[in-house]
Structure 1
Amino acid sequence: MRIILFDGVCNVCDASVRFILKRDGGIFHFASLQSEVGQQLVKQYHLQGIDSVVLIEHHQAYTKSTAALHIAKSLQGFWRFLYIAIVVPRPIRDRLYAFVAKNRYKWFGQKEVCMLLSKEQQARFLS
C-alpha cells in the first residue's frame, strides 16, 4: 500500500491531496499526520517531529522534496516528468521545500472545515 501522510489543517496540503486524488489513478491512500493512523505510522517509521508530506511505499518512508517528487512520478500526465528534479541535490531541494513549508500557514492559512469527498475518495483515507 502506498500511503501519503499530510498536515490535516494546512490549506496547501489540502489542495495537494485534492490534486493527487484527481491524477493518481487510485494508487495512493491518505492519512493526516494528526490522525490516529498517521501517528501510528509516524512512530513506526521514526518520524517524530515531522511536519512535511510523507510518502510510505515498499516499507520505506520518504519526506519533504523526495516524497513530493516520488508522488509526482506516480501521477498521470505531465506531472510525472517533474521527477527529473531528483537530480538536484537533496539539501538544495529540501531547503526550497522548507522555505515553503515554513511559510505555508502565513501565505495560505489553515483549514477550519474538513474537505468533502466522494465515497470512492473516502475509501482511500485511513482512519
Structure 2
Amino acid sequence: MNAKQPSGPIIIFDAECVLCSANAQFVLSHDHARRFRLASMQGEIGAALYRRFGIDPANPETMIVVEGETALRNSDAVLAIYNGLGWPWKAAFLFRLVPRFVRDPLYRFIARNRYRIFGRREACWVPAPDHADRVL
C-alpha cells in the first residue's frame, strides 16, 4: 500500500455490471475525502474478501462494504456508502428508518436481476488514472 492510498472501507462491486460500475464511478467522483477504496469481485482481492465473508464471488447476491473484520451487505452496504460520501448524499441514510425486512428484498431483487435490467459490460470497467490508487 502506498502512502497516498486510504485505509478506509473497501467496496466490493461487480465490474461487469453497468449499474455497479456506474455506482463505483459515482463514489470515486463524489468521495472528496477519498475515504473509500474499491475492489471488483472479478479481481483477486475482491474475490478473496467475498470468500472471507462466505459469499461466492462467481454468483454473489450482494455487494459488500468491508471495514476491518466487518462486512455490510445488501441495503446496509449501499446506505453506508452514501452516508460516507457526506452531504448531500448523506441524506440517503434516512432510508435506514425503513426496516431492513422492507429494504433488503428490494435490494436483492435488483441485485439478482442487475444484468437483465441494467446490462452487462463486455469487459470489466477500469478507473481513470487519477483514481487508480483507490482501486485494488
TM-score (norm 2): 0.84
How many residues align structurally? 126
Aligned with 2:71: secondary structure? strand
> What stretches of structure 1 move > 4 A for 4+ residues in a row?
none
The match for 2:85 is 75
Offset from partner CA, 1:38-70 (integer Å, 9 cap, x none): 121122222335332110114210011000001
Decide which of 104, 124, 135 is 1:94's aligned counterpart.
104
**Cα root mean square deviation, aligned:** 1.6
Looking at structure 2, the residues matched to 77 and 85 of structure 1 have their Cα atoms a distance apart, in angstroms, of 15
Decide which of 5, 13, 36 is 2:20's aligned counterpart.
13
The match for 2:40 is 32
TM-score (norm 1): 0.89
Alignment check: 8 A CA contact 1:7 1:51 kept = no
The match for 2:75 is 65
Unaligned 5+ runs, structure 1: none
Unaligned 5+ runs, structure 2: 1-7
State the shift of 1:100 in Å: 1.6
Q: Which amino acid aligns with 1:62?
A: L
Aligned with 2:21: secondary structure? helix
Looking at structure 1, the residues matched to 123 and 44 of structure 2 have their Cα atoms a distance apart, in angstroms, of 18
Offset from partner CA, 1:98-127 (integer Å, 9 cap, x none): 12222221121101134343323111111x
